[in-house]
């Protein structure tokens, strides 16, 4: 069961909690907007459902509520940012803004970030580029749940990639996806319903195919996009690896099996080779390649041609990346955001602790 | 059946053919090296087996053997290149070199290319960045064989992505993959053996799952990486789309279903929205983010940690992207390159036409 809340209700609560852990007003605003973008866009696993988790990381002193976020190295088109253990929800918009400013001058901007934490949904940060007539790119590593092809060991996170591309009359193209067959949030939905997972999402701890949605609790692993070697899992493994390397080996963050875990009760890995999570951001000015108006007309043409591609039997239309999330956002702004009861209960406990009412 | 040739034999023959169609000596050298990199690395579908196809495109006046390749627009970190309908095998190294030169000054370089043709394997161009202590990125669109999720229409090519990342004592990380479940070359191998394809590689013209390796000859389509919606094909579709947009909508090339076909007997699409194929290249100077020696030490650590990840039962080791191709290259340099008889026959016909002996 679930309750419906207006965006404003969730926003005020979230802002108050971030203020409660010691964020200043600006950072609490930035963090609440970034976090709730997930709930608006229907990616419920990454929104307010994680608020308690962020607070636990603060309690464990793994999140610094008043970070001094700094550019530690730069060139005309690049920067390396140290997030000072801040909320990824605050560090990421800072770094993406640096990429945008670089792009204004150099044509493109590329920022690798270390010493950060979970940043919510990648798509939100990539979309910051759109009002500037820029293409936005965002990615992050995450704690290890995924086994490389031919392995049973947790070596990579679900390491998402987002790419946002502006159009003219058409809405923008916004791809935002985990580099695994299915994101962990999808497994959590199945666990709640006690339903099996499709073959190809997880393997058991010996590496056998499994349909148990709870397999990760028994030492199993998520599978890279492609599921198995025959269906291209080496490509998903390569994509997840590229995200890991761009986000953390470039910046000096921690990578692979050494990425700090999101659950605060899980001990930090021993011998970490870098500090905190890593992210990677890019901004490319459209008119660094061709006039923006020309590009956006062609994007309109691209989008409408693909939207009108012949559908397969049983399907009425072909979707453009970003369509489902945009449709959900329109509905949720109008009708409110559903939050499942177990999350509402957790938020109420959190609210009591900080003297805030949901 | 197959014959074994030394690299030098294939090189001299290929160089002579490219000279035969009117390339100057420099371009013929560049093109032969780029093309045969595929044969050396074991990607036989993209190497000398395609030489006859390139010549047919020249005969159809779709390839200009003496192109004036030009930068038509640029900023400190970007350029748009017009390939003047040249061989992609010549245009791509030119454009990648522009990206490298930009990166030397601005930290990174990004080049979108229009009016080009097939460029061989993406990995070859990405690897040009490695000796400069840069990360190299290469991608290209290609003629449409792939249906988006929920569709049965050919809208995208196999649109490969390559990313090459330098290490220190370890060999470099080199990922190079089609954004489909399986590249078309893999289907051709099965066709030759009259073997079925795994489910999830192709669908028939109604959109039903199929194991017929010849399905494309009957109006079927290749499937994006992920195979079906449940296994993440919308992610493969998004990746292929991003390659298409970066390569051709940014540059002014032709995109989606309008990409010029490789087989010269297939008529050009009507109402093309741009000129020729498109590519996209990137070069990122490592020390634009952190000292190159530090990064490369951590890449060594990343690579050896992943190579030593616990293997699944039945597998003896975990591979790093680029391992299989590098191993094949070492063997083929030492022992020669096998070419199947049907390709040898084609090459002999080609050789007769140009007065060159294989």
State whether A238 and B299 contact (CB < 8 Å): no
Task: Note whether A270 contacts B: Cβ–Cβ < 8 A.
Answer: no
Chain A residue whose CA is closest to B243? A163
Task: Note whether B257 contacts A: Cβ–Cβ < 8 A.
Answer: yes
Task: Kindly report, residue by residue over B332-344, the tens digit of the pLDDT.
Answer: 999 999 999 999 9
Task: Note whether A312 contacts B: Cβ–Cβ < 8 A.
Answer: yes
Nearest to A97 by CA among A81, A84, A118: A81
Write down the pLDDT at residue A18: 98
Q: How many CB atoms lie within 10 A of CB B61?
A: 9
Q: Do A143 and B297 form a contact (C-beta atoms < 8 A)?
A: no
Task: Kindly report, residue by residue over A54-112, the tens digit of the pLDDT.
Answer: 999 999 999 999 999 999 999 999 999 999 999 999 999 999 999 999 999 999 999 99
**Sequence-separated (6 or more) residues with CB below 8 Å from residue A84:** A64, A67, A68, A69, A70, A91, A115
Nearest to A250 by CA among A73, A106, A62: A73
Task: Kindly report, residue by residue over A293-317, the tens digit of the pLDDT.
Answer: 999 999 999 999 999 999 999 999 9
Give, in degrees to the nearest 5, the angle at Cα A138 between A322 and B125.
105
Write down the pLDDT at residue B184: 85
Q: Do B68 and B39 form a contact (C-beta atoms < 8 A)?
A: no
Nearest to B177 by CA among A234, A226, A141, A182: A234
Residue A202, sorted as left (phi over 0), alpha (psi -120 to 50) or beta, turns out to be beta
Residue B36, both tokens = 């045969």
CA separation for the pair A130, B300 (Å, rounded): 37
Give, in degrees to the nearest 5, the angle at Cα B247 between B117 and B98.
80
Q: What is the pTM of this model?
A: 0.98
Residue B93, both tokens = 């190294």
- What ipTM score was computed for the predicted complex, to two decimals? 0.98
CA separation for the pair B295, A249 (Å, rounded): 6
Q: Do B53 and B262 form a contact (C-beta atoms < 8 A)?
A: yes
Residue B1: pLDDT band by 50, 70, 90 thresholds? confident
Query: Hey, which residues does A5 pair with through a beta bridge?
Result: A337
Q: Tell me which residue in B112, B198, B250 faces A230 most closely, judged by beta carbons.
A: B198
Write down the pLDDT at residue A48: 97
Task: Kindly report, residue by residue over A125-151, the tens digit of the pLDDT.
Answer: 999 999 999 999 999 999 999 999 999
CA separation for the pair B109, B97 (Å, rounded): 9
CA distance B233 to chain A (A): 9
Contact list, B311 vs chain A (CB under 8 Å):
150-152
The helix/strand/coil state of B157 is: coil
Beta-carbon contacts below 8 Å between A and B? 265
Task: Note whether B75 contacts A: Cβ–Cβ < 8 A.
Answer: yes
Task: Kindly report, residue by residue over A9-43, the tens digit of the pLDDT.
Answer: 999 999 999 999 999 999 999 999 999 999 999 99
Compute CA A12 distance to the chain's CA centroid, rounded to the nearest angstrom.
Answer: 22
pLDDT for residue B193 is more than 90:
no
Write down the pLDDT at residue A189: 81
Write down the pLDDT at residue B320: 98
Q: Do B132 and B236 form a contact (C-beta atoms < 8 A)?
A: no
Contact list, B295 vs chain A (CB under 8 Å):
249-250
Phi first, then psi: give them for residue A148, nearest 5 degrees. Answer: -60, 160
Task: Kindly report, residue by residue over B35-77, the tens digit of the pLDDT.
Answer: 999 999 999 999 999 999 999 999 999 999 999 999 999 999 9
Give, in degrees to the nearest 5, the angle at Cα A252 between B171 and A97.
120
Write down the pLDDT at residue B206: 95
Residue B155, both tokens = 């809208």
Mean pLDDT of A238-255: 98
**Tokens 């400013």, residue located:** A101
The helix/strand/coil state of B78 is: strand
CA distance A264 to chain B (A): 25
Find the range with the poorest average confidence among A132-146, A168-182, A209-223, B177-191: B177-191
CA separation for the pair B204, B225 (Å, rounded): 17
Q: Which helix (H) or strand (E) holds A111?
A: strand A108-116
Length of chain B: 358
Mean pLDDT of A250-261: 98
User: Domain segments of chain A: what residues?
Assistant: 182-222
Provide the pairing of β-strand B78-82 with B70-75. antiparallel
Compute CA A194 distance to the chain's CA centroid, rounded to the nearest angstrom.
Answer: 26
Q: Do A137 and A162 form a contact (C-beta atoms < 8 A)?
A: yes
Residue A75, sorted as left (phi over 0), alpha (psi -120 to 50) or beta, turns out to be beta
Burial of B213 (0-12, 13-18, 19+ CB in 10 A): buried
Task: Note whether A13 contacts B: Cβ–Cβ < 8 A.
Answer: no
Q: Tell me which residue in B108, B152, B302 faces A108 most closely, judged by beta carbons.
A: B108
> A182-222: CATH homologous superfamily?
Hypothetical oxidoreductase yiak; domain 3 (3.30.60.50)
Chain A residue whose CA is closest to B232? A181
pLDDT for residue A192 is more than 90:
no
pLDDT for residue A1 is more than 90:
no
pLDDT for residue A185 is more than 90:
no
Find the range with the poorest average confidence among B150-164, B173-187, B239-253: B173-187
Mean pLDDT of A330-356: 97
In our burial notation (b when 16+ CB lie closer than 10 A, e otherwise), range B148-172 reads: bbbbbbbbbbbbbbbbbbbbbebeb
Task: Note whether B317 contacts A: Cβ–Cβ < 8 A.
Answer: yes
Residue B80: pLDDT band by 50, 70, 90 thresholds? very high
Q: How many CB atoms lie within 10 A of CB B107?
A: 28
Task: Note whether A244 contacts B: Cβ–Cβ < 8 A.
Answer: yes
Burial of A247 (0-12, 13-18, 19+ CB in 10 A): buried
Task: Note whether A318 contacts B: Cβ–Cβ < 8 A.
Answer: yes
Average predicted confidence (pLDDT) for chain A: 97
Residue A56, both tokens = 């636990």
Provide the pairing of β-strand B78-82 with B202-203. unpaired
Which residues in chain B (129-188) have CB-CB distances under 8 A to chain A? 135, 147-153, 155, 163, 165, 173, 175, 177-182
CA separation for the pair A36, B20 (Å, rounded): 63
Mean pLDDT of B166-184: 96
- Give the helix ranges, DSSP H, for chain B: 7-20, 25-40, 51-59, 88-106, 122-127, 184-193, 233-244, 292-307, 323-335, 341-354
CA distance A232 to chain B (A): 5
In our burial notation (b when 16+ CB lie closer than 10 A, e otherwise), range A118-134 reads: bbbbbbbbbbbbbebeb
Nearest to A29 by CA among A45, A16, A46: A16
State whether A241 and B305 contact (CB < 8 Å): no
Q: Do B165 and B172 form a contact (C-beta atoms < 8 A)?
A: yes
pLDDT for residue A184 is more than 90:
no
State whether A250 and B295 contact (CB < 8 Å): yes
State whether B312 and A181 contact (CB < 8 Å): no
Mean pLDDT of B251-278: 96
Q: How many CB atoms lie within 10 A of CB A267?
A: 8
CA separation for the pair A270, B11 (Å, rounded): 51
CA distance B20 to chain A (A): 35
Nearest to B117 by CA among B89, B159, B156, B158: B89
Residue B139, both tokens = 């991608």
Rg (CA), chain B: 20
Query: Hey, which residues does B164 pair with through a beta bridge?
Result: B136, B174
**Tokens 């000072």, residue located:** A84
State whether B234 and A163 contact (CB < 8 Å): no
Contact list, A273 vs chain B (CB under 8 Å):
298, 301
- Give the helix ranges, DSSP H, for A229-309: 233-244, 292-307
pLDDT for residue B188 is more than 90:
no
pLDDT for residue B272 is more than 90:
yes
Chain B interface disruption, residue of A72, A77, A81, most B CBs within 10 A? A77
Write down the pLDDT at residue B192: 80
């Amino acid at each position: 069961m679930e309750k419906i809340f207006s965006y404003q209700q969730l926003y005020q609560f979230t802002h108050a909690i971030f203020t409660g852990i010691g964020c200043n007003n600006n950072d609490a605003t930035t963090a609440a907007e970034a976090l709730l973008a997930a709930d608006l866009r229907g990616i419920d696993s990454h929104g307010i459902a994680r608020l308690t988790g962020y607070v636990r990381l603060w309690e464990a002193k793994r999140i610094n509520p008043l970070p001094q976020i700094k550019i530690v190295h730069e060139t005309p088109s690049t920067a390396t940012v140290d997030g000072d253990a801040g909320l990824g929800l605050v560090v990421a918009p800072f770094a993406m803004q640096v990429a945008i400013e670089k792009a204004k001058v150099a044509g493109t901007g590329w920022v690798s970030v270390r010493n950060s934490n979970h940043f919510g949904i990648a798509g939100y940060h990539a979309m910051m580029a759109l009002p500037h007539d820029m293409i936005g790119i965002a990615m992050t590593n995450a704690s290890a749940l995924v086994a490389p092809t031919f392995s049973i060991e947790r070596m990579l996170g679900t390491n998402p990639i987002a790419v946002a591309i502006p159009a003219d009359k058409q809405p923008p193209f916004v791809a935002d996806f985990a580099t695994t067959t299915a994101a962990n949030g999808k497994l959590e939905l199945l666990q709640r319903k006690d339903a099996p997972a499709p073959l190809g999402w997880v393997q058991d701890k010996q590496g056998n195919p499994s349909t148990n949605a709870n397999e990760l609790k028994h030492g199993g692993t998520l599978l890279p996009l492609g599921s198995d070697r025959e269906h291209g899992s080496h490509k998903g493994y390569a994509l997840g690896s590229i995200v890991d390397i761009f986000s953390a080996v470039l910046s000096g963050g921690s990578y692979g099996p050494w990425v700090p875990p999101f659950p605060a009760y899980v001990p930090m890995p021993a011998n970490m080779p870098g500090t905190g999570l890593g992210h990677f951001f890019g901004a490319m000015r459209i008119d660094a390649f061709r006039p923006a108006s020309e590009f956006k007309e062609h994007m309109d043409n691209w989008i409408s041609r693909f939207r009108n591609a012949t559908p397969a039997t049983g399907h009425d239309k072909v979707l453009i990346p970003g369509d489902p999330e945009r449709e959900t956002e329109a509905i949720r702004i109008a009708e409110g955001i559903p939050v499942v009861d177990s999350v509402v209960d957790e938020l109420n406990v959190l609210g009591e602790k900080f003297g805030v009412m949901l």
